[in-house]
A and B are shown apart, each in its own frame.
Chain A
Amino acid sequence: MINKFILKLIQFYQKYLTILSYGSCRYHPTCSSYAKVQFENNNFFKAFYFSTIRILKCNPLFDGGFDYVKIKCPIKDKQQFKKLKFTKIKVKYWKVPVENNYCLILQHNKTWDR
């Protein structure tokens, strides 16, 4: 519920207010995209915490750079792959496994569709 509300706020910001702060973020993805992915993939408290930390770190005292959302995503039983159904799906994220049981979340870009 609350996550949905916050996502709406972020959406509004990205649509109408982003020009006010254009080209100021030191990270990729930008703070607002980062927060969006956080609130779509984490519970409220975690998402709020990580998004706040991100904004706090987004100043000249920190280096900036690449900083993707990282979530816990244990690789499931290999049996599961046998049950996979091959249908056409709409890709929203790419979850890239890193270290043990963690994934980075990359947002899919429409221009990557061929």
Chain B
Amino acid sequence: MGMNDNTINKEQTQKRILLATALSFVFFIAYDFLYLQPQQKAVELANQQNAKVIEQKTTTPTTNNAPQIAQTNAPQTAVATNQAPESSAITANIITTIKTNRNIIEIDNLGRINQVTLLDKQYVDEDKNQIKLFNAKQLKPLEMRFSNGNINTEAFKVNMIASASDIDATKSKSVLTLTQKLTNTTVTKVLTFYPDGHYDIDVSTTNQAKFFITPGFRPDVLADMYADHGALLTKNDSTLTIIEDEDMDRGEELIGITMASAFDRYYTSTLYNYNTSMSVSVMMDATESPNMFIHANDGIKLRGYMGPKEYKTLASLDNRLTSVIEYGWFTFIAKPMFQLLQFLHDYVGNWGWTIVLTTVLIKLVLFPLSHKGMKSMNRLKELSPKVKALQEKYKDDKQKSSMHMMELYKKEGANPMGGCLPMVLQIPVFFAIYRVLLNSIELKGAPWMLWIDDLGAMDPYYVLPILMGITMFAQQKITPNTMTDPMQQKMFQLLPVIFTFFFLWFPAGLTLYWFINNLFTISQQYYVNTLFANAKVERHEKHLEEKKHKSSKK
């Protein structure tokens, strides 16, 4: 192969790489705008329409079916056939209102949670109204279904009697007893509400009437494509099952369950019992989303939580309950990352500064590694004439050139490359911070300073991404490198531009991390550079002095 062919080929390859990189960035952004966001809207629309369809198809339980089901003892089908008449689900008739320090809970005439309104001042929607967790058209928390079709039909017609209509649980725990007298059984639901907003539930029936109870359909405050939403269950062997919305093809039967959570991005409705595990039927609704039903036989005791997935709140109820917060694939690193951030936040008080401090800490931990790398990298400057000569000599044979380079480093006793590990280590840290910013309610709408009022959203004025780009450019300038191929060098110089472009839409918190990271790398590099410059001057002076000494001796 001729030399000319070779160089042309190389240039074409480089151009292709450049094009591919640019295209992939464009693709990601286009994907976000043209696919994710419209899809989200479409889903919302579909949900509304589906709800309407369900409304029209008011299903009445088939009575002749029921005894057979009771005999075969197949809870799956029992729950499936014994539907709630949907008309009663829509028109809510509130019989009790409970006020705790964190929320207002409404109970309807069938003993279900009709709505939960959050009281903390940070939980407001765009119109400054306090956030309400549930969608009225969906399955309500604490709804009961019976194995026996007759009982099931009757249970949706007979009102529950409440022991009180207004309950104040702000000072101490308060008990509400709901009773429902049916022909063949009496249902007793005892709910204990605590000032911190969680509750205990103890339901029982007489005459061994078997039933199921549900944590309800997930809260419907923020369910989008950026984070999972649906059902999350933990088993007593501490494994985790996630069933995402619109992703079911059939119902599932799960045993040994300790916690069942219906969740959207930031909120959950959870029923749990870590002492006695539960059996749960996960049913598919009209949108192929999960509805969970816990097998209760003729009585069950559970604890429940409905509200934001705050780490501290969940941990105060039960440490194991923190597994309700889910960060996707990177949970194993994102969770410790969040714990570190939370720990620092207790001292700092501002999430933006917490991210800055975390960046500094990570830099400090990696300091010995990076410092050694930088020091040996600076030796590269001294070797550069030799390196250039080698690269010129073997410019058509990359493999040989890199082999001879390695030999040179060995001879000089210095390896100027930083290594693959520091590079690879960046990736999980980066993703962990990304997931924490995306999934932690604590960081939702968390401000830093000046114009950054939401670290989880993009910088509205593009200041941080641009600063990030500038520092990246500066870092490249100040760092010695071995690049000699002009095309490659051009690509390399383009990287800060591409990165800035990409970061424009990233959460501000992530851009902040990268920016601070760059700043510290630059100052570290600058320090090492001056160290070497001084050493060089010293050597030079020493050299001159020796010369002088020698000449004076003569």
Binary flags per residue of A25-36, CB closer than 8 Å to B gives 1, else 0:
111111100000
Contacts of A22 in B (CB 8 A): 481, 483, 488, 492
Q: B534 in the interface, Cβ–Cβ < 8 Å?
A: no
Q: Do residues B1 and A110 form an inter-chain contact, with CB atoms below 8 A? A: yes
Q: Do residues A16 and B24 form an inter-chain contact, with CB atoms below 8 A? A: yes
Q: Do residues A109 and B419 form an inter-chain contact, with CB atoms below 8 A? A: no
Q: How large is the interface on A (under 10, 10 to 19, 20 to 34, 35 or more residues)?
A: 20 to 34
Contacts of A65 in B (CB 8 A): 406, 409-410, 415
Q: Tell me the chain B residues, 478-506 only, with Cβ under 8 Å from chain A.
A: 481-483, 488, 491-492, 495
| A23 to B387 alpha-carbon distance, docked (Å) | 13
Q: For the complex, would chain B's binding face be called helix, strand, loop or mixed by DSSP majority?
A: helix
Q: A99 in the interface, Cβ–Cβ < 8 Å?
A: no
Q: Tell me the chain A residues, 1-51 only, with Cβ under 8 Å from chain B.
A: 15-16, 19-31
Comparing A54-62, A72-80, A85-93, the segment that makes contact with chain B is A54-62
| A57 to B420 alpha-carbon distance, docked (Å) | 9
| A65 to B411 alpha-carbon distance, docked (Å) | 11
Q: Tell me the chain B residues, 420-460 only, with Cβ under 8 Å from chain A.
A: 420-424
Q: Do residues B415 and A59 form an inter-chain contact, with CB atoms below 8 A? A: no
Q: Do residues A58 and B24 form an inter-chain contact, with CB atoms below 8 A? A: no
Q: Do residues B409 and A24 form an inter-chain contact, with CB atoms below 8 A? A: no
Q: Do residues B415 and A111 form an inter-chain contact, with CB atoms below 8 A? A: no
Q: Do residues B397 and A111 form an inter-chain contact, with CB atoms below 8 A? A: yes
Q: Tell me the chain B residues, 390-429 only, with Cβ under 8 Å from chain A.
A: 396-397, 399-400, 402-403, 405-406, 409-410, 415, 417-424
Supply 17 A–B pairs (Cβ within 8 Å), ascending by A. Answer: A16-B21, A19-B17, A22-B481, A22-B492, A23-B481, A24-B417, A24-B423, A25-B420, A30-B420, A59-B373, A60-B415, A64-B415, A65-B406, A65-B410, A109-B397, A110-B1, A111-B396
Residue of B nearest to A27 (CB): B406
Contacts of A110 in B (CB 8 A): 1
Q: How large is the interface on B (under 10, 10 to 19, 20 to 34, 35 or more residues)?
A: 35 or more
* A interface, CB within 8 angstroms of B: 15-16, 19-31, 55-66, 107, 109-111
Residue of A nearest to B375 (CB): A60
Q: B157 in the interface, Cβ–Cβ < 8 Å?
A: no
Contacts of A109 in B (CB 8 A): 397, 399-400
Chain B nearest CB: distance from A59 CB in Å? Answer: 4
| A35 to B389 alpha-carbon distance, docked (Å) | 30
Q: Do residues B491 and A55 form an inter-chain contact, with CB atoms below 8 A? A: no
Binary flags per residue of B460-479, CB closer than 8 Å to A gives 1, else 0:
00000000000000000000
| A83 to B523 alpha-carbon distance, docked (Å) | 66
| A20 to B417 alpha-carbon distance, docked (Å) | 14
| A48 to B381 alpha-carbon distance, docked (Å) | 36
Q: Do residues A24 and B415 form an inter-chain contact, with CB atoms below 8 A? A: no
Q: Do residues A23 and B421 form an inter-chain contact, with CB atoms below 8 A? A: no
Chain A nearest CB: distance from B469 CB in Å? Answer: 15
From B21, B376, B417, B420, A55 is in contact (CB under 8 Å) with B420
Q: B20 in the interface, Cβ–Cβ < 8 Å?
A: yes
A28 in contact with B420 given A16-B20, A19-B17 (CB within 8 Å): no
Q: Tell me the chain B residues, 367-387 only, with Cβ under 8 Å from chain A.
A: 369-370, 372-373, 376
Q: Do residues A19 and B400 form an inter-chain contact, with CB atoms below 8 A? A: no
Chain A nearest CB: distance from B374 CB in Å? Answer: 9
Residue of A nearest to B396 (CB): A111
From A15, A58, A66, B420 is in contact (CB under 8 Å) with A58
Q: Do residues A26 and B419 form an inter-chain contact, with CB atoms below 8 A? A: yes
Q: Tell me the chain B residues, 299-313 only, with Cβ under 8 Å from chain A.
A: none
| A22 to B495 alpha-carbon distance, docked (Å) | 11
Contacts of B421 in A (CB 8 A): 55-59
Chain B nearest CB: distance from A57 CB in Å? Answer: 8
Contacts of A55 in B (CB 8 A): 420-421, 424
Contacts of A27 in B (CB 8 A): 406
Contacts of B1 in A (CB 8 A): 110-111
Please indicate which of the listed interface residues A55, A57, A59, A60 has the most CB atoms of chain B within 10 Å of its own CB: A60
